[in-house]
Structure 1
Amino acid sequence: MTETTQNAAVVLFSELVAENGKKIGVATLNSEKSLNALSLPMVELLLPQMQQWKENPDIAMVLLQGAGDKAFCAGGDIRDLYHTMKANPGTFQPYVTEFFTKEYTLDYLIHTFDKPVLVWGNGIVMGGGLGLMAGASHRVVTATSRIAMPEMAIGLYPDVGGSWFLNRMPAGCGLFLGLTGASINAADAKFIDLADFFIPHDKRQRVLDALLSIRWGNTVVLNHQKLSDLLMSIETQTLNQQPASQIRLHQAPITALANTPNLPAAMTAILAMPNEDSWLGKAKASLKYGSPITAHIVYRLLQLGQSKILADSFRLELGLSVQCGKLGEFSEGVRALLIDKDQQPRWLYADVASVPETVIDELFSSPWPASEHPLATLGRIYPHQ
C-alpha cells in the first residue's frame, strides 16, 4: 500500500505502509536526464521532508533512491554555480554560500538521523550523491555502482563530508582517491567503508516487499537491527555476483602513500605505481589533468587528520567551498569539463610546486567570524552554545 504525501518534479516523496501500520518514507531523486544530479530545488525539498520524517513517530525508516537504472545521483548540479561565479569573478557569491550551506545541512542531517536510512546506491554515485550516501546507516551498492570523488577535474575538492570520511579510510586510500578521483566499484566501496551491503539492482523490489513485512517497532536500535538482518540475508545469497575490488589489486602501493613525506612525493608515487591496468591508468591520467590547487587542498585535509566533531568538518568545508567559488579555479574547471567541454583547463598554476602556500592558507581561512558562520549552530542543541 502506498500513501503519496508529496509529488514534485525533481523529488518524489511517498510513504509505504508496512503490515503493522508503521510507515517507510521514500524519497526518489527524479531527474533522469541529469543522472539525478543534486540541484538546489532538490535539497530544498529533501531537507524539510527528512526533518518531518525524523520527527514523525509513525515513520520507522527512510529510503533514498534515484529514478531510473543509471544513477542514484551523479553529483551536484553545478551549472548554476558556474554562471554565478562567472558573472561575478573574485567575489563571495550569496548563491554559492546558499547552495553549499543547504547541501551540507542535508548531508549532516542524514549522518545524524537516528532512524535507519537506507540509500540504494545503484549506478553512478558521485560528488553530491556520495554526500547523501556516505552518512546513511544502511548503504547498498549494486553490480553497476560507480562511486567517485572527481572534484580534482573541476578545481573544487572532495567536499560533502569528504574531510570526514577520507580520513577514516584504510591507509593511503583517502589520499589516492582524493587526488585521482578514481572510480570505484561495490567491493571497493565496502572495503573503504562507503558502503555496507552488496545487493544486485534486480533485487530491489524484493527488498521493498520485505521491508513492508518487517514488524517495525518504536525502538530505533531494534529497527536498525531488523533492517541490517534483512539486507544481510539477501546479500548472503548474491555475494558471488560482487565484482573484484580494484583497490585490493593495488593495495600495497596505495597503502604506502600514507608514508610519503609531502604532496609532490605522493603524486610521484601514484604516477610510478606498478602493474598498471586500465583502472590505474585512468587514475593516473586524472591526476595529471586535475587542478594543482585541488591537490594541495586534498593533501592538507588529510594532514589535518580526523576531526572529532562531524559538524566541524562541514563548517570547515563550507568556508573552503565558498573560498573556492571566489578564487576562480572552480569556475575554470567547470568551464573546461562541462560548459565548453574542451578539456583544456587553464589552471591558475602549472603544477603543485608553483602553488604558493599563502593561496592554500587563504582557502582554509573562514570568510566569517565564528559567530556568523552559516553553519554555526550545526550539531548544537541550543543556538547560543
Structure 2
Amino acid sequence: MSDLSVRFDELPTRDGGRIGVATLNAPKSLNALSLEMIRQLDAKLDAWAVDRSIVAVWLEGSGDKAFCAGGDVVALYRSLTEEGENRGAGRDSLLAETYFSAEYHLDHRIHTYPKPLMVWGDGIVMGGGLGLLAGGFQRLVTETTRIAMPEITIGLYPDIGASWFLNRMPPGVGAYLGLTGASLNARDALDLGLADRFVPRERREALLGALEEADYGDRSRAALRGAVQRVLDQYEARDAAPAGQVMPRLDHLQALVGTVDAATAVRRILADPRDDDWLAANRARLASGCPLTAQLVWRMLERHAHTSLADAFRDELVLSVQCCRQGDFVEGVRALLIDKDKAPRWSHPDVESVPEEAVQALFVSPWSSESHPLRDLGLGHRVG
C-alpha cells in the first residue's frame, strides 16, 4: 500500500475523459485529517479544476471503518503542549493557525468546486470529515455511515462550516446536534441536507465502473453534472436506508431547544425524562461535555444565521485559534485522547457559570481585517 497520506488516481472514461480519485490514506487513525493531507488534497483539487480532461472527482477514505473520523487534534494538542510547554493562556498556536486556515480553505474549495465532486461518506464521518463531505456536489452515504460533530467532548465547537450549514436544518435541530454531539445515520443525513444519495456499500465498484462508461458530453458544467446524476440515479437505493432518528423526534427536539439562550436549552435537554436510548446517549454526552463549548455553539449559530459561508469560515478561524490559545481544547483532548481518563477539568462547572467576558474573549481576532488569513475567501466564488 502507498505510504502517501492521500493517494491519487485517474480513471479513464469511455469518451476520453478521466475521473480524479482521491483517497485519504491513514486507516489506522480512521483517516484523521492531517495538515499534510489537507495540503495534498487542496493542491490536487486545484490542478484537477483546470484540467479539461478531468470530468469528475471522487473523494473517499481508505479502509472499511471510516471516511474520516475528524481533524488531527492529537497533533494540534502536541503542538500546543510540547512546543508551547502547556503554558495555558497565550500558548503557542502557530500550528493551529496554519492547520485551521488550510482546512477551511479546502472545505470552501469543495463547496464551490467547478466540477462534479462526489464524496463517498462510508463509515465514520466526524468533525473535519464532515467538513469534507458537506460541500460535495453529490454526498453519498451508505448503511455504515455514522455522522457526528462531537466537539462538546473536547472543548472545541462544531466548526468546518457548521456555523453556516447547521442553520439550514429545521429550526432547533442544528443547535441540538451541536450541543449533544448526537450520532446520525444515513437517513438522518438525507433528511437534514447533509447527504444527497443513499448507495449500498456493495455497489461502490459497480458505480465507479458506470461513471467510467458515462458520456460527459461537451464538458460544460451542465453536461458534467447531468452525466454524474444520471449514473447515480441507477445506483441509489433510498428504500434500503436505515430508519431515521431525528425526524421522528423533531417536535420533541424543537421543544427542548426552542429557547433564547444556551443555558436554558442545556437545562431542558438534561432534565428531559423521556426513556429513549438515542436521547439518553445525547444527554450523557452533554452532561459531561464542555460548558464553554455549549455557549460557543449557541453564539455561533446566532452570529451566522444570515451570513455567507465564507464569513462563517473567517469567524470560525478566529474562534478555533482562540480556543487553542485560551479555551478548554487542550484539556478536552488530554482527557479524551491522551490520558484517556475521561475526567476533563473544564474551566467552568456548568453552562450558567460561563461569564460573558469569557465568551467574548474568544471572538477577539488575532488579525486585522487586512491580514486575516482567509480575507480573500469567497471573492469571485458562488456556493451551489
- TM norm structure 2: 0.94
Unaligned runs of 5+ in 1: 1-6
Sequence identity (%)? 48
Matches within 5 A, 1:66-105: 66-87=61-82, 88=84, 89=87, 90-91=89-90, 92-105=92-105
Deviations 1:206-263 (A, max 9, x none): 110110111113111222122122223321xx33321000112311111224521221
CA distance in 1, matches of 2:242, 2:380: 43
The amino acid of 2:68's aligned partner reads C
Matches within 5 A, 1:1-385: 9-87=4-82, 88=84, 89=87, 90-91=89-90, 92-217=92-217, 218-235=219-236, 238-257=237-256, 259-273=258-272, 275-381=274-380
CA distance in 2, matches of 1:360, 1:276: 34
CA distance in 1, matches of 2:270, 2:235: 40
CA distance in 1, matches of 2:123, 2:213: 27
The amino acid of 2:285's aligned partner reads S
- Secondary structure of 1:250's aligned partner: helix
Number of aligned residues: 374
The amino acid of 1:122's aligned partner reads D
**Are 1:307 and 1:313, in contact at CA under 8 Å, matched by a contact in 2?**
no
Unaligned runs of 5+ in 2: none
Stretch of structure 1 that moved more, 155-164 or 358-367: 358-367
**Are 1:81 and 1:96, in contact at CA under 8 Å, matched by a contact in 2?**
yes
The amino acid of 1:125's aligned partner reads V
Deviations 1:133-159 (A, max 9, x none): 001110000001000000000000001
- Secondary structure of 1:118's aligned partner: strand
Stretch of structure 1 that moved more, 255-264 or 143-152: 255-264
The amino acid of 1:83's aligned partner reads R
CA distance in 1, matches of 2:34, 2:73: 8
CA distance in 2, matches of 1:216, 1:41: 32
CA distance in 2, matches of 1:228, 1:185: 23
- Secondary structure of 1:26's aligned partner: strand
The CA deviation at 1:275 is: 3.7
**Are 2:176 and 2:257, in contact at CA under 8 Å, matched by a contact in 1?**
no
CA distance in 2, matches of 1:371, 1:381: 18
Deviations 1:329-360 (A, max 9, x none): 00000000000000000000000111110111
The amino acid of 2:233's aligned partner reads M
The CA deviation at 1:271 is: 2.3
**Are 2:25 and 2:31, in contact at CA under 8 Å, matched by a contact in 1?**
yes
Deviations 1:30-53 (A, max 9, x none): 111001110111011111101000
The CA deviation at 1:361 is: 0.7
- Secondary structure of 1:370's aligned partner: coil
- Secondary structure of 1:371's aligned partner: coil
**Are 1:253 and 1:273, in contact at CA under 8 Å, matched by a contact in 2?**
no
- TM norm structure 1: 0.94
- Secondary structure of 1:125's aligned partner: strand
Deviations 1:147-175 (A, max 9, x none): 00000000000011111111111111100
The CA deviation at 1:276 is: 3.0
The amino acid of 1:45's aligned partner reads Q
Distance 1:258 1:285, change over 3 A: closer
The amino acid of 2:316's aligned partner reads E
**Are 2:257 and 2:269, in contact at CA under 8 Å, matched by a contact in 1?**
no
Displaced runs of 4 or more, over 6 A: none
